[in-house]
């Protein structure tokens, strides 16, 4: 009997991991040998199951029949390169092997390797073959990244075929060495398209951007011949939460309209899941959630409320910490100081980076700073939040003086980038043999990412703007982009084999990348702001990302704590319980991040449109008044 494959997908931050883990526990409890595996570079399976997992199949404590694995991109990359290069090392001189290995150190290799490891679970003959499992559940990366993974087999086939006609070398490795892989990926796509064996579950929130992203992703999957089977609408405010609470009553009314829209526009089998008043962590909690999701049990409050968290009384923040919540501490970090400033908004998908970046950009522009708002996120939502169209070219935002915006579309930018590189090579008289090698290189799957970052560098290297606000992609993707200039410089060093006249141009490129990297490392010229809501998983994810940034010489400068329940809206039991949970984690944020902390309040409706952004910006950044002090938080004792 073939294994059943279930894929969980959707916009970042909608609860894919929680729903995937809940489903995995239910299948295991029903006697199915179940594996849950993630390809997400920002994986948090270990956090949900409250145990170490990592890059190997690991039994889950307390859940017989359940195993899990987090595909580690670094380990997968090493394994992939070793397999691809093994026959080459035996057949070619050491110098040629060194060049080919360096060629494989490019930025797309980790994505390629993660997908290669992922496909192993769809291959009956592979190690850890899924035939030993009855169910294999994939907790996937945020939608834009997932789609790129699923598109890779097609792109790889094109790259391999082109390489066979040319040098025989690709950024994925020697074409001859990965011919077997090509057939493996083709078989994997057949499995993904087989409705009798594979199903796709889209998780979404009852919100406009989540619905739009789900529809876009479903269309992309449809082009690949893959069709989703059902939906889980997550994060629904329960009826009891709206009783006597204007904040949650407003959010529930907002959600009601979107729930109707989901029924009309996404007519698929649908399950609904409430927004709980505590976190989903541990096997017992996952079983409880499973009873709500699969059995239709009535939602009940947890035991936490009235200022208590897990039995611990709340304490007031230390006065020294309160200073870090004041606009006097964080406004200078988002404002230009005469030399210009670049703001990077990073964090786990779905935590509100786009809202935070748009709010900040609008506030800065209204204070007379010439501001450019950019994103390279393939699931960009700048236009949705601003309420005006945002295209691939920089354009002024009507209604707000001093504000311009652009969505750096990776596909469109890659087309322009490829043509520019090849035209430049021909103008400098490169031989056709070198042009052919460059053309092959530019057809690789990583070119879109390189091109998008190159476009950003063009803006960052200039002096036209007082402030550039960079709304980034989800954290794992962002870090790979930040590493690109360094990895790209390594590739430049070995391109002499293609043509000897590249030295001058490559030196110019190196210098430009170096200048931008130096800017990123200078806290007087750039600020890395980590956006998170006050819950365990996004805090841990941001902390890990911050530690990775430090290895690049970049220090996190600011934290944006999003969706914080104001004290005035926490008078009812449900709101008290959720605020008590948030209080605990705001204290943890202050302990993990020695930076100023901006609090963005939870509102009764979505943040959309310039009018609302202006209002939110004034409430968050103000004019120096101690707005944050009015929301002084408490946290639970350890």
Please report how the helices 94-103 and 475-493 are oriented relative to each other, as an axis angle in degrees rounded to 10. 150
* Per-residue tokens: 257: 């309209």
pLDDT tens string 454-468: 788 788 877 899 999
CA distance 142 to 120: 21
How big is the CA angle at 189 (ends 183 and 193), to the nearest 5 degrees? Answer: 150
Q: Which of 30-39, 345-354, 556-565, 578-587 has the lowest mean pLDDT?
A: 345-354
Q: With helix as H, strand as E and coil as C, how does 475-501 read? A: HHHHHHHHHHHHHHHHHHHCHHHCCHH
For the cut 70, the answer to whether the pLDDT of residue 627 exceeds it is: no
pTM higher than 0.85:
no
For 324, the token pair is 């870090």
Nearest-CA neighbor of 344 among 482, 518, 472, 452? Answer: 472
How many CB atoms are closer than 10 A to CB 362? 28
Average pLDDT over residues 601-612: 93
Going 72 to 73 to 79 to 83, the CA torsion angle's sign is positive
Pick from 15-24, 187-196, 406-415, 503-512: least confident: 503-512
The residue with greater pLDDT, 561 or 549, is 561
Least Cα distance to 344 among 221, 456, 508, 198 occurs for 456
pLDDT of 147 higher than 50: yes
What is the CB neighbour count within 10 angstroms for residue 300?
11
Strand partners, 68: 36, 58
**pLDDT-derived band at 630, boundaries 50, 70, 90:** very low
CATH 3.40.50.300, the chain: domain bounds: 4-295, 319-636
Whole-number pLDDT of residue 73: 74
pLDDT digits (tens, 9 = 90+) for 98-138: 766 666 665 566 667 777 777 888 775 554 444 589 999 99
pLDDT in tens, 234-260: 999 999 999 999 999 999 999 999 999
Q: Is the model's pLDDT at 80 over the cut of 90?
A: no
**What 3-state DSSP class applies to 550?**
helix
Amino acid 622: pLDDT: 86
| 587 pLDDT higher than 50 | yes
- Is pLDDT above 70 for 141? no
Confidence bin at 636 (pLDDT 50/70/90): very low
- The residue written with tokens 């850890």 in the block is 128
Q: Which of the residue ranges 71-75, 107-111, 552-556, 623-627 has the most confident prediction, judged by mean pLDDT?
A: 552-556
* Separation between Cα atoms, residue 375 and residue 361, nearest integer Å: 12
CATH 3.30.1330.40 correct for 319-636: no
Q: What CA–CA distance (Å, rounded) separates 266 from 142?
A: 19
- Average pLDDT of the residues of the chain: 80
- pLDDT over 80 (residue 500): no
- pLDDT score at 43: 73
pLDDT for residue 638 is more than 50: no
Share of the chain above pLDDT 90, in %: 40
CATH number of 4-295: 3.40.50.300
CA 94 to chain centre: 39
Tokens 């103008």 appear where?
427
Polymer length in residues for the chain: 638
Mean pLDDT comparison of 217-231, 366-380, 439-453, 553-567, highest-scoring range: 553-567
Give the closest residue to 480 by CA, choosing from 522, 448, 435: 448
Q: What is the pLDDT of residue 493?
A: 41
Structure tokens at 476: 């794992």
Token pair of 575 as six digits: 């709101």
Percent of the chain residues past pLDDT 70, beyond the cut: 75
CA atoms within 13 Å, Cβ hemisphere of 377: 31
Is 516 in contact with 460 (CB distance < 8 Å)? yes
- The predicted pLDDT at position 460 comes to 81
| Residue in 601, 629, 630, 603 with CA at minimum distance from that of residue 533 | 601
Let me know the angle formed at the C-alpha of 337 by 335 and 341, rounded to the nearest 5 degrees.
60
Q: What are phi and psi of 341, to 5 degrees?
A: -150, 145
Instruction: Look up residue 394 and give its DSSP letter.
Output: -
pLDDT (average), residues 537-554: 84
Residue 451 clears pLDDT 80, i.e. is over it: no
> How far is Cα 438 from Cα 422, in angstroms, rounded to an integer?
7
State mean pLDDT over 266-284. 93
Q: Which of 125-129, 211-215, 296-300, 592-596 has the highest mean pLDDT?
A: 592-596
Nearest to 587 by CA among 629, 628, 635: 635
The mean pLDDT of 14-29, rounded to a whole number, is 95
For 349-375, what is the mean pLDDT?
A: 93
Confidence band of 143 (pLDDT split at 50, 70, 90): low
Kindly tell me the burial class for residue 311, based on how many C-beta atoms sit within 10 Å of its own C-beta (0-12, 13-18, 19 or more): exposed
Query: How many C-beta atoms surround the C-beta of residue 91 within 10 A?
Result: 11
Between vectors from CA 254 to CA 249 and to CA 256, what angle results, nearest 5°?
Answer: 95
Task: Decide if 565 contacts 575 (C-beta within 8 A).
Answer: yes
Is 487's pLDDT higher than 70?
no
Pairing of strands 308-309, 312-316: antiparallel
**Residue 223 burial (C-beta neighbours within 10 Å; 0-12, 13-18, 19+):** exposed
Given a contact cutoff of 8 angstroms between Cβ atoms, the answer to whether 417 and 450 are in contact is yes
Q: Residue 441 — pLDDT band, cuts 50, 70, 90?
A: low
pLDDT of residue 74: 76
- Please report, for residues 57, 319, 589, 599, 621, the alpha-carbon distance to residue 328 in angstroms, rounded to integers and kept in the order given: 49, 15, 19, 13, 9
């Amino acid at each position: 009997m073939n294994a059943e494959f279930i894929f969980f997908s959707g916009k970042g931050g909608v609860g894919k991991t929680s729903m995937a883990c809940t489903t995995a526990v239910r299948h295991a409890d029903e006697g199915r040998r179940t594996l849950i595996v993630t390809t997400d570079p920002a994986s948090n399976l270990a956090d949900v199951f409250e145990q170490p997992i990592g890059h190997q199949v690991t039994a889950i404590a307390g859940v017989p029949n359940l195993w899990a694995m987090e595909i580690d991109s670094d380990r997968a990359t090493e394994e992939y390169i070793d397999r691809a290069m093994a026959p080459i090392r035996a057949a070619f001189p050491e110098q040629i092997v060194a060049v080919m290995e360096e060629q494989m150190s490019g930025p797309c290799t980790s994505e390629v390797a993660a997908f290669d490891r992922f496909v192993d679970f769809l291959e009956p003959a592979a190690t850890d073959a899924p035939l030993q499992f009855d169910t294999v559940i994939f907790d996937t990366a945020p939608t834009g990244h997932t789609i790129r993974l699923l598109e890779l087999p097609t792109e790889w086939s094109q790259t391999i075929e082109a390489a066979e006609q040319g040098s025989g070398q690709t950024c994925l490795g020697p074409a001859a060495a990965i011919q077997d892989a090509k057939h493996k990926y083709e078989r994997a796509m057949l499995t993904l398209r087989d409705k009798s064996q594979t199903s796709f579950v889209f998780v979404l929130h009852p919100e406009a951007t989540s619905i739009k992203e789900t529809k876009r992703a479903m269309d992309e999957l449809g082009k690949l011949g893959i069709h989703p089977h059902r939906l889980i609408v997550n994060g629904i405010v329960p009826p009891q939460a709206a009783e006597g609470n204007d904040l949650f009553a407003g959010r529930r009314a907002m959600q009601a309209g979107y729930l109707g829209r989901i029924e009309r526009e996404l007519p698929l089998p649908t399950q609904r899941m409430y927004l709980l008043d505590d976190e989903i962590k541990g096997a017992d909690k996952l079983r409880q959630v499973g009873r709500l999701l699969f059995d239709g049990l009535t939602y009940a409050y947890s035991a936490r409320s009235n200022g208590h968290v897990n039995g611990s009384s709340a304490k007031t923040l230390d006065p020294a910490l309160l200073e870090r919540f004041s606009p006097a501490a964080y406004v200078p970090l988002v404002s230009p100081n005469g030399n210009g400033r670049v703001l990077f908004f990073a964090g786990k998908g779905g935590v509100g980076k786009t809202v935070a970046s748009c709010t900040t950009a609008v506030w800065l522009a209204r204070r007379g700073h010439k501001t450019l708002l950019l994103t390279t996120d393939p699931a960009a939502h700048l236009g949705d939040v601003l309420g005006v169209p945002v295209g691939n070219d920089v354009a002024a935002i009507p209604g707000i003086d001093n504000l311009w915006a652009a969505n750096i579309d990776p596909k469109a930018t890659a087309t322009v980038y490829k043509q520019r590189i090849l035209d430049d090579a021909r103008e400098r008289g490169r031989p056709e043999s070198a042009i052919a090698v460059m053309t092959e290189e530019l057809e690789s799957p990583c070119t879109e990412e390189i091109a998008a970052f190159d476009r950003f560098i063009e803006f960052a290297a200039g002096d036209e703007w007082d402030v550039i606000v960079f709304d980034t992609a989800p954290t794992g993707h962002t870090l790979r982009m930040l590493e690109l200039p360094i990895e790209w410089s390594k590739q430049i060093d070995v391109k002499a084999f293609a043509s000897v006249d590249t030295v001058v141009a490559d030196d110019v490129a190196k210098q430009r990348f170096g200048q931008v990297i130096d800017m990123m490392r200078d806290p007087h010229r750039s600020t890395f702001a980590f956006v998170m809501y006050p819950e365990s998983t996004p805090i841990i994810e941001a902390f890990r990302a911050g530690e990775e940034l430090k290895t690049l010489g970049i220090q996190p400068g600011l934290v944006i704590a999003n969706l914080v329940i104001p004290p005035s809206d926490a008078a009812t039991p449900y709101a008290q319980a959720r605020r008590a949970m948030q209080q605990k984690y705001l204290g943890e944020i202050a302990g993990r991040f020695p930076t100023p902390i901006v609090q963005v309040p939870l509102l009764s409706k979505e943040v959309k449109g310039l009018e609302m952004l202006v209002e939110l910006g004034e409430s968050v950044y103000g004019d120096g008044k101690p707005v944050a002090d009015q929301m002084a938080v408490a946290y639970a004792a350890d």
